[in-house]
Amino acid sequence: MEIAIENKIRYHKLYDLYGSLLTEKQRSAFEYYYLDDYSLSEIASLLNVSRNAVYEQINIATAYLEEYESKLNLLIKTEKTVSILEKMKRLSKDSDALLNLIQELEKME
């Protein structure tokens, strides 16, 4: 599997948002591959399954992540929120109370 770096970054972000909705199997195949950078063969031997089974779990996992995003749009919303919060910070330099609230919102994204 050859994966463009932009896709990799996107999957990382989607996994942060929706990883909890995947099954244990999907999560471990995904994490070994996308977070720890193991090869399919290495993961197959770590999980004691075929290389093909690993490949399928990873594909199912990324398909689910994209499906959740298409239905809930949390990534789009989060990126929009972060950009609005940046603008707000620039506008409220003189108010500590406002900056504190903005920081509270930032922690939630």
Q: Please give the residue ranges that form the binding site for a copy of itself (CB under 8 A).
A: 17-18, 20-21, 68, 71-72, 74, 77, 80-81, 84, 87-88, 91-92, 95, 97-98, 101-102, 104-105, 108
Q: Which is nearer to a copy of itself, 19 or 62 (CB)?
A: 19
Alpha carbon separation from 16 to 13, 92, 104 (Å, rounded): 5, 30, 19
Least distance (Å) between residue 28 CB and a copy of itself: 17
**Smallest distance from the beta carbon of 92 to a copy of itself, in angstroms?**
6
Contact in structure between 32 and 38 (CB atoms under 8 Å): yes
**Closest CB to a copy of itself among residues 46, 98:** 98
* Residue 1 vs 108, nearer CB to a copy of itself: 108
**Is the Cβ of residue 4 or residue 97 nearer to a copy of itself in the bound state?**
97
